[in-house]
Amino acid sequence: MAHQSGPRRPSKGVSAAPVLVDIALLRTTGSPRRSGEHPGHSRVLAEFRSLPPILVHRQTMTVIDGVHRLRAAVRNGHTRIRVQFFDGDEETAFLLGVKANSALGLPLDLAERSHAAARILRSCPQWTNKAIASAVGLAPDTVARLRAAPSARSAPGEPDLAADLLALRADAELSATAQGRVLVRWLGFGAAFARNWPALLAGVPAHSARLVARMARACADSLRCFADELDRR
Q: How far apart are CA 6 and CA 14, in angstroms?
A: 20
pLDDT of residue 88: 87
Q: Express the helix, strand and coil content of the chain in percent, nearest 5 each.
A: 60, 10, 30
Burial of 133 (0-12, 13-18, 19+ CB in 10 A): buried
Per-residue DSSP letters for 157-171? TS--HHHHHHHHHT-
DSSP letter at 52 equals: P
pLDDT single digits (tens) 66-103: 888 888 998 899 999 999 999 988 888 888 888 877 66
Position 158 pLDDT exceeds 70? no
Q: Which helix (H) or strand (E) holds 21?
A: strand 19-22
Nearest-5° Cα angle at 92, 118 to 6: 65
Q: What is the mean pLDDT of residues 46-64?
A: 88
CA 62 vs CA 43, 93, 168: distances in Å: 22, 9, 27
Q: Is the confidence at residue 46, as pLDDT, over 80?
A: yes
- Of the listed ranges 53-67, 95-109, 129-143, the least confidently predicted one is 95-109
pLDDT of 180 > 70? The answer is: yes
Residues in the chain: 233
Residues of the chain above pLDDT 90, percent:
16
For position 14, what pLDDT does the model report? 80
Q: What is the DSSP string of 113-142?
A: HHHHHHHHHHH-TTS-HHHHHHHHT--HHH
Determine the Cα–Cα distance for residues 29 and 52; give it in Å rounded to an integer: 21
Question: Is there a contact between 22 and 59 (Cβ–Cβ < 8 Å)?
Answer: no
**Does residue 202 carry a pLDDT above 70?**
yes
Residues 6+ apart with CB under 8 A from 105: 41, 65, 68
pLDDT of residue 22: 93
Does the structure show a pLDDT above 70 at 5? no
Which range, 48-52, 100-104, 204-208, is most confident?
204-208
**Cβ–Cβ under 8 Å, residues 136 and 91:** no
Q: What is the mean pLDDT of the chain?
A: 80
